[in-house]
Amino acid sequence: MYKVLVTARSVARCQECIDLLRQNGCEVIDGAGDVPRNEQEMLKLIPGMDAVIAGVDEINAPVIVAGKPTLKVISRNGVGYNTVDVQAARENDVTVTLSVGTNNISVCELVFGLLLAVSRNIVRQSEAVRAGGWQRVQGMELYGKTLGVVGTGHIGAEVIKRAHAFGMKTLAFDLYPRTELTGLYGTQYVSLDKLYREADLITLHVPATKDTVGMINQQVLDSMKNSAILINTARGDLVEEAALAAALKAGKIAGYGADTTQEEPPGKDHPFIQLPNVVITPHCGGYTREAVVRSSVTAGEEVLRVLKGETPLFPVK
């Protein structure tokens, strides 16, 4: 019987995935905590496991080595893999897989929730009403504005589709432009510099890699419109947070909506916490009932494929 460690909290609560694994001869070990597991916790949990279904837990080289000789697959319950040492996995013959195409709609819908929350000051006004006030804060319409979409993969494409329905224009940047987005929605692919300069609102949909970490820095912020709003539902590491906080405080850009920060959860003294033009959600972009089931079951299916000697559908290459 294969042993499958589940540290992803949503997967541990997804009965459809647990049943799938058990029906295929796996023993499921619930290793989920209240927050993602760190290295020391993973070192205690991983020995003897054949597979891990992980969230954003810390799975570095020592953890992977500690999983030898039984560990065969690390299945990420999501599409990011910056917390997994992929090179160490390769060196130890451990396959890393993703749950691709399972939370596109959920994350995309949160993007628009954040766009509306920031552009219309929804959270700020709601908190004022709860405190007994009734003062309005002037907002901004999305209609007719230019949305810059950085990364037009599964989620970015869904964002473009909905932006078109909102009556927005879209500029996009991607290493692999998708001509169908240009034809269907009038999206214009441009350089990153042009996108930063001309977009009224910008949303990030790229993984955290050596080329993208800190991509939103002081120089980029200086090039953006003072009225610009930035949305980040991808990874906190894409943003130089100190520079962004300073720009927000000084009014160099108008607002920030984020579903992620560099340190999760952010500390009470985090520079974003007290800023009225910032809305932060607790990395909940893919946390809907529908997306949880799709992502969890896909993660489980990938584990079973590898354990059976089959080729996974969504390996990290």
The domains of the chain, with CATH numbers, are 2-102+288-307 (3.40.50.720), 104-280 (3.40.50.720)
Is 90 exceeded by the pLDDT of residue 117? yes
Q: Read off the pLDDT of residues 41-59 as tens digits, 9 standing for 90 and up.
A: 999 999 999 999 999 999 9
270 is catalytic: no
Assign 82 a pLDDT band (cuts: 50, 70, 90). Answer: confident
Q: What is the pLDDT of residue 295?
A: 96
- Residue 229 CA to residue 231 CA, distance in Å, equals 7
Of the listed 37, 76, 205, 235, which one is catalytic? Answer: 235
Q: Read off the pLDDT of residues 151-187 as tens digits, 9 standing for 90 and up.
A: 999 999 999 999 999 999 999 999 999 999 999 999 9
Is 90 exceeded by the pLDDT of residue 239? yes
264 is catalytic: yes
DSSP string, 248-284: HHHTSS-EEEES--SSSSPPTT-TTTT-TTEEE--S-
- Residue 228 CA to residue 201 CA, distance in Å, equals 5
More confident residue, 104 or 317: 104
Of the listed 9, 37, 205, 283, which one is catalytic? Answer: 283
Q: What is the pLDDT of residue 279?
A: 98
Q: What is the pTM of this model?
A: 0.85
Of the listed 27, 264, 290, 310, which one is catalytic? Answer: 264
- The pairing of strands 169-173 and 95-97 is unpaired
Assign 78 a pLDDT band (cuts: 50, 70, 90). Answer: confident
- Residue 249 CA to residue 144 CA, distance in Å, equals 27
* Residue 145 structure tokens: 């504005």
Question: What average pLDDT score do residues 64-83 get?
Answer: 94
Q: What is the pLDDT of residue 290?
A: 96
Contacts of 227 (CB under 8 A, 6+ apart): 140, 200, 253, 254
Question: What average pLDDT score do residues 66-79 get?
Answer: 96
Q: What is the pLDDT of residue 303?
A: 98
Which residue bears the tokens 């927000």? 248
Q: What is the pLDDT of residue 84?
A: 97
Output the average pLDDT for the chain. Answer: 97
58 is catalytic: no
- φ, ψ of residue 30 to 5 degrees: the values are -80, 105
